[in-house]
């Protein structure tokens, strides 16, 4: 794991405080979507398929900060849309860093070099660019439906690193991903000098029969087991090692849909970052009135059946770490040895 | 995301075979503007982004065509909903993109193999 010690400490002490306070449900990462606009049009992306008047809308910085304060999570992830297209992104990041929130700006990096040269951001231990890369050049350009994006993203990463910024990558993998090519991708990212990588299976909702469901889950386990087998010492992942073990099929968790709550121009999204079943006006309303028992694998909800995505299961892994000495020991062991 | 048939242009008739709640759910899932026809005969056009059938008084919420809102409208005020705007999700699935890309590759291959380059010795 490649998280800075200060960030690990901030998250750990936050979780312990929540447990001591007896809070049953608490957020870890706020997914803050200030806009839906994007300079890519990736096939199947549900975030950008809206009428024009919705794509033109964005949150104000004050709305964003109110949501951050209301939620209280120690980490704020800014996806979108493309956050570098948000007109006040520089001010928003500055305000969040001033609040000592750990900020991940999730970007396709097409505009990264330009925005860095414009002096929009200042390096900070609280601030990291999380560059979306779904693999090496061929795979990534195919995933985002445009040639040349990988090269632009790598140029942006190099420029950010040169200027002293924290840079991580985030990769979504679907059926058909090559474990071998992904291992080459990990090597390539590490050689660029990124701080760490985040990986997650894509979300596929299907009304497939049970047999197919089994194969889907099993395929995901096979993919991640092969990909992460005998991990190289130099690979660094910016996520819980227990979550990686979950992806490999070595552990089983239940979903924690309130762990990464989502706020956007529609309000607080029910129940999670992926499913849109409605919106609440306040975070408290989201927590209190969402029927959480209807979500997660055990609920029998077919929309949750095949889901193994980080926004639901990484909070479960973090919770497990602090739920028992054994969980803590397993996390430390995997972190120290680099084996999953 | 699948390539399911779009509801674009649909004007549902609410009655014994189709409840208002079902139509509201479909409008909520629809990725285009809709026209909400009220019981008083007035109409509101825009994007329906929220619905709560479990509330004490069930309601929907919309942003209008200018992006203003949210406007809250109670179920009891709704006569029907027309799926009047373009479905922005139609044909944009990953599967559709893969098919288009494969078709483009096939066309490219057949063009290269069609004799556009003179054969050696010609």
CATH number of the structural domain spanning residue A301: 3.80.30.10
Per the structure, how many domains does chain A have?
1
List the domain range (segments joined by +) for residue A291.
Answer: 5-337
Q: Which residue of A has its CA nearest to B97?
A: A43
Cβ distance B65 to A53 less than 8 Å, yes or no, reads yes
pLDDT at residue A215 in the model: 61
pLDDT for B1 beyond 60: no
pLDDT for B122 beyond 70: no
Nearest by CB to A50, which of B31, B64, B97? Answer: B31
Closest among A316, A297, A313 to A305, alpha carbons compared: A297
Nearest by CB to A44, which of B46, B50, B93? Answer: B93
Spatial CB neighbours of A152, under 8 Å, sequence gap ≥ 6: A109, A110, A113
Q: Which stretches within A118-235 are classed as H helix? A: 137-143, 149-162, 179-192, 210-228
Question: Whole-angstrom distance between the N-terminal and C-terminal Cα of chain A?
Answer: 11
In this predicted complex, what is the ipTM?
0.88
What pTM does this model have? 0.91
pLDDT at residue B3 in the model: 52
Geometric angle at alpha carbon B121, from B118 and B122, rounded to 5°: 50
Low-confidence spans in chain A with pLDDT less than 70: 1-2, 44, 204-215
Chain A residues whose C-beta sits inside 8 Å of any chain B C-beta: 41, 43-44, 46, 49-51, 53-54, 56-57, 142, 145, 174, 266-267, 278-279
Closest among A260, A268, A259, A258 to A66, alpha carbons compared: A268
Nearest by CB to A278, which of B32, B51, B92? Answer: B51
Spatial CB neighbours of A17, under 8 Å, sequence gap ≥ 6: none
Whether the Cβ atoms of residue A139 and residue A114 lie closer than 8 Å to each other: no
- What is the residue extent of each domain of chain B? 20-112
List CB contacts (< 8 A) between A41 and chain B.
92
Cβ distance B86 to A54 less than 8 Å, yes or no, reads no
pLDDT for B116 beyond 90: no
What average pLDDT does range B31-40 have in this prediction? Answer: 96
CATH number of B20-112: 2.30.30.100
pLDDT-based confidence at residue B79 (cuts at 50, 70, 90): very high
CA distance B99 to B104: 9
Geometric angle at alpha carbon A278, from A275 and A281, rounded to 5°: 125
Cβ distance B92 to A43 less than 8 Å, yes or no, reads yes
pLDDT at residue B119 in the model: 41
Closest among A112, A103, A108, A100 to A31, alpha carbons compared: A103
Q: How far is B59 from chain A (nearest CA, A)?
A: 11
Closest among A14, A1, A10, A15 to A321, alpha carbons compared: A15
Nearest by CB to A43, which of B52, B86, B93? Answer: B93
Whether the Cβ atoms of residue A212 and residue A301 lie closer than 8 Å to each other: no
Q: What is residue A180's DSSP assignment?
A: H
Whether the Cβ atoms of residue A259 and residue A243 lie closer than 8 Å to each other: no
pLDDT for B118 beyond 50: no
> Choosing among A37, A54, A269, which should be mutated to test the B contact, i.e. which has the most B CBs within 10 A?
A54
Geometric angle at alpha carbon A93, from A26 and A148, rounded to 5°: 105
pLDDT at residue A78 in the model: 98
Structure tokens at B7: 């509801």
């Amino acid at each position: 794991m490649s998280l800075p010690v200060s960030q690990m400490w901030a998250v750990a002490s936050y979780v312990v405080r929540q447990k001591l306070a007896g809070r049953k449900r608490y957020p870890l990462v706020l997914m803050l979507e200030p806009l839906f606009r994007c300079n890519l049009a990736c096939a199947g992306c549900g975030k950008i398929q809206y009428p024009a008047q919705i794509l033109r809308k964005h949150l104000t910085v004050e709305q964003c900060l109110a949501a951050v304060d209301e939620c209280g999570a120690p980490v704020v992830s800014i996806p979108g849309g493309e956050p570098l297209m948000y007109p006040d992104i520089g001010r928003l990041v500055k305000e969040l860093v001033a609040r000592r929130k750990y900020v991940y700006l999730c970007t396709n990096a097409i505009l990264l070099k330009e925005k860095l040269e414009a002096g929009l951001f200042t390096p900070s231990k609280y601030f990291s660019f999380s560059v979306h890369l779904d693999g090496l050049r061929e795979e990534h350009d195919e995933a985002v439906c445009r040639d040349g994006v990988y090269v632009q993203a790598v140029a942006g990463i190099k420029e950010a690193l040169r200027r002293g910024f924290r840079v991580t990558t985030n990769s979504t993998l679907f059926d058909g991903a090559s474990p071998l090519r992904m291992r080459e991708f990990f090597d390539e990212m590490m050689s660029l000098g990124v701080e760490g990588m985040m990986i997650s299976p894509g979300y596929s909702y299907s009304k497939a029969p049970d047999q197919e469901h089994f194969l889907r889950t099993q395929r995901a386990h096979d993919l991640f087991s092969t990909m992460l087998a005998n991990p190289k010492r130099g690979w660094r992942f910016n996520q819980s090692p227990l979550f990686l073990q979950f992806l490999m099929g070595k552990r089983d968790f239940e979903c924690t849909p309130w762990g990464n709550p989502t706020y956007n121009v529609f309000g607080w999204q029910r129940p999670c970052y992926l499913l849109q079943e409605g919106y609440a006006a306040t975070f408290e309303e989201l927590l209190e009135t969402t029927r959480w028992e209807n979500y997660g694998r055990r609920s029998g909800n077919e929309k949750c059946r095949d889901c193994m995505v980080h926004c639901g299961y990484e909070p479960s892994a973090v919770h497990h770490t602090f739920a028992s000495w054994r969980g803590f020991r397993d996390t430390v062991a995997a972190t120290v040895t680099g084996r999953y | 995301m699948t390539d399911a048939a779009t509801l674009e242009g649909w004007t549902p008739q609410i009655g014994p075979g189709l409840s208002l709640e079902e139509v509201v759910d479909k409008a909520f899932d629809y990725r285009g503007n809709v026209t909400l026809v009220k019981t008083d005969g007035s109409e509101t056009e825009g994007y329906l982004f929220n619905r709560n059938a479990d509330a004490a008084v069930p309601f929907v919420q919309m942003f209008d065509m200018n992006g203003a809102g949210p406007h809250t409208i109670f179920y009891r005020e709704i006569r029907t909903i027309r799926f009047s705007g373009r479905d922005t999700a139609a044909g944009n699935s990953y599967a559709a993109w893969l098919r288009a890309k494969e078709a483009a590759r096939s066309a490219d291959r057949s063009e290269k193999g069609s004799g556009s380059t003179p054969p050696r010795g010609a």
